[in-house]
Structure 1
Amino acid sequence: MNDIAADYSWPTCVACGHELWVSETGRRACRPCEDKTAKRLTELPDLFAQLNTTASLMRGARKVSAATSGSKTPPVPPRLEVLSLVAAGGVATRLRDIEDSWRAALGWTIAPWRGSPAEAVPDHTKFLTNNLPWACDAYDSIDQDIDDIRRLHAECTAALTGERRPGRVNIGLCPVTDEAGAPCGNQLTASAGSPRIQCSNCGTEWPDMAAWRDLRLAQEAATGRSEAA
């Protein structure tokens, strides 16, 4: 019995890594993460509407001169970061992909054509908000979706305010080994915008600052093994 107790580890939120409260037992993500995600989803339609305007797309554009005003090819909007969010492949597409994965997990029919991005974004956020409690309770990939929604909200906010998105820096190689003892060795990166680090090769993640210490120790140990070999 004591051995079982010694091996037991308290369940943690898959999104932030914090220990779950007793009332949250059985959930995948904690309620604070659910609340933050719900707030971001609620704000996304308005952020999208503000971005999807000529003023946002053309902010900072030079006035077209008389010499070029007769060109058949219109100038490309200078704010390509805004265009990438409001056009196909942007906010609407990224929210649609999350919705489709949730529908598949629930065994529901994938929704048909949803119209233009401006028409689709409110519908996507409504679906995701309504089904977020289920996803935080039982959906295996909710951690990735919470992070995707957080990043999408941050990108929209930064595009509106003109803030530069935090860059990524290399922080060493992934120290995880497979069953045969072979190291993953994939380059890991970190961003000032999130404490979460995830290896794009093996999928191992370090969700918060506390886990970074374990990562650093594992990297040092892996370096020692490499030098010894």
Structure 2
Amino acid sequence: MHDTTLDDYSWPTCLAPGCGRELWTAEVEAGRRVCRPCEDRTAARIAELPALFRQLDTTASLMKGARRATNGSSGSRTAPIPPRLDVLNLVGPGGVAARLSAIEDAWRQTLGWTVAPWRGNPAQAVPDLAAFLANNLLWACSGYEEIGQDVDDLRRLHGECVALVNDERRPGRVQIGNCPISVDGSLCWTPLTATAASHRVRCGGCGTRWETLGEWRDLRAAQDAVLAEAAGAAA
């Protein structure tokens, strides 16, 4: 015999922080812990995280070593732009990838699955981590006891990424060194500029383009080689 009266019964509510909506009868019968609208919002956030990460990763790459544009002479030294630590914290080893991995590991342990090995660097790991969470979100919303906290963590992580991406969409231009391309036997050396919203760079002098992160690294290496050669000649 149960001594619980009808007055003592409390209808189950969504565990997602800030929601608290009473679950539908079908949701209760299915044992759900998070309502479908919160699940849908979480799924959308998970789906957007890889693209947001790519945008932040590009921003972090550009900000490293960038220099403020000045109206002074070409030989004047300019102070480096401080790296955006908030951006670097999200794209680095302890950022987006680590936070998604912690949720995946907890889900795998609850399911009795083997914890997945680390998937390369953060840029390689984030899409796979997001795919795992998306594929298993229905299970988590239907019976995982800690899903409320995970939904909140994903909401916060997505919000941090969106806030930083929106802040970087209309940045000022920064100088990123000079063009190291040789044109008709002469060094172009036209000052190059870029924005933190894109890694695409075009030289206004010779028209050379650098449009991928790999080409960005080639540009930086070529600039360093020219400067090293000039320093050696001066010595």
TM-score (norm 1): 0.63
CA contact (8 A) 2:67 2:81 kept: no
**Cross-structure match for 1:11:** 12
CA contact (8 A) 1:103 1:109 kept: yes
Check if 1:157 corresponds to 2:162.
Answer: yes
The letter of the residue matching 2:99 is R
Aligned-pair CA distance for 1:107: 0.5
**Cross-structure match for 1:22:** 25
Aligned-pair CA distance for 1:113: 2.4
Deviations 1:179-200 (A, max 9, x none): xxxxxxxxxxxxxxxxxxxxxx
The letter of the residue matching 1:62 is R
Q: 2:142 aligns with which of 137, 146, 149?
A: 137
CA contact (8 A) 1:13 1:30 kept: yes
Aligned-pair CA distance for 1:58: 1.8
Deviations 1:37-89 (A, max 9, x none): 000000000000111114775299524995768xxxx9574311111110110
User: Does the C-alpha gap of structure 1 residues 2 and 101 become closer, same or farther in structure 2, counting only changes over 3 Å?
Assistant: closer
Q: 1:58 aligns with which of 26, 39, 63?
A: 63
3-state secondary structure, aligned to 2:108: helix
User: Does the C-alpha gap of structure 1 residues 40 and 56 become closer, same or farther in structure 2, counting only changes over 3 Å?
Assistant: farther
**Cross-structure match for 2:90:** 85
**Cross-structure match for 2:120:** 115
User: Does the C-alpha gap of structure 1 residues 34 and 61 become closer, same or farther in structure 2, counting only changes over 3 Å?
Assistant: farther
Aligned-pair CA distance for 1:14: 0.7
**Cross-structure match for 2:47:** 42
The 2-side partners of 1:87 and 1:3 are apart by 52
Q: Give the number of the structure whose alpha-carbon radius of gyration is greater.
A: 2
CA contact (8 A) 1:57 1:77 kept: no
The 2-side partners of 1:97 and 1:2 are apart by 41
What are structure 1's unaligned runs of at least 5 residues? Answer: 164-229
CA contact (8 A) 2:42 2:155 kept: yes
CA contact (8 A) 1:14 1:28 kept: yes
User: Does the C-alpha gap of structure 1 residues 19 and 56 become closer, same or farther in structure 2, counting only changes over 3 Å?
Assistant: farther
- Cα RMSD (Å): 2.7
CA contact (8 A) 2:68 2:80 kept: no
Hey, which bits of structure 1, 4+ residues long, moved more than 3 A?
54-57, 63-69, 74-77
User: Does the C-alpha gap of structure 1 residues 107 and 159 become closer, same or farther in structure 2, counting only changes over 3 Å?
Assistant: same
Aligned residues between the structures = 159
CA contact (8 A) 2:60 2:88 kept: no
Deviations 1:24-45 (A, max 9, x none): 1021111111000000000000
What are structure 2's unaligned runs of at least 5 residues? Answer: 169-235
User: Does the C-alpha gap of structure 1 residues 124 and 66 become closer, same or farther in structure 2, counting only changes over 3 Å?
Assistant: farther
